[in-house]
Amino acid sequence: MKKIPIRQQYLAFLSQQEDTHLTKMNNIVQDTLQEEALLTQKIKDEGKESTQIGERLSDLVAAFVGSWRFILSFGAIVLVWIVGNRMMSPKDAFDPFPFILLNLVLSCVAAFQAPLIMMSQNRQEKKDRQRAENDYMVNLKSEIEIRHLHEKIDLSILEQYHQMFEIQKQQIELLESLNRDLKKIKHS
């Protein structure tokens, strides 16, 4: 049986260490990708919330009431109401000058609008809070990823230095061996 020189055995050992290092790095990357998939899925699942009819209605009312279309159309209705009642004689007008009926209608509209708008704002606040929590989770994940990258780079550099020093040591030993052989040849 042929005996393998120690240097070749050592180089095989260094290759095995490099393979082990690459396997560790691959496992770290796989774990990171799995964690990323879990975080992404969790954020997607939280975004799929079921809304009730009342919540959707409050969102629609708040969206309409907060628009220029509502302001202009409601202003036009109030203007037509006032002008129409002022042009009629006080005896024929359905809502004469102090416009008591108009005040009642405006009060009723405000009484219904306020709770609907508040419900919509509460829902929006809940969505914003959830969005902020998701942003926090993503930022935390990014921080962890950056730390992992630093660890990987540090580990890689450290192992590369170790490998480089070992190779350099082997080269120096080979050079010394060659130098001794050359001296032997010179002296003979």
Across the range 116-125, mean pLDDT stands at 90
Based on its alpha-carbon atoms, the radius of gyration of the chain, rounded to whole angstroms, reads 40
pLDDT at 157 over 80: yes
For residue 183, the model assigns a pLDDT of 92
Single-letter residue type at 74: F
Burial of 139 (0-12, 13-18, 19+ CB in 10 A): exposed
User: What is the enclosing helix (H) or strand (E) of 141?
Assistant: helix 100-187
Kindly report, residue by residue over 46-88, the tens digit of the pLDDT: 656 667 888 888 888 889 988 999 999 999 999 999 999 999 9
pLDDT at 11 over 60: yes
For residue 56, the model assigns a pLDDT of 86
Task: Tell me the C-alpha distance between 57 and 52, whole Å.
Answer: 9
- The domains of the chain are located at 6-45+52-187
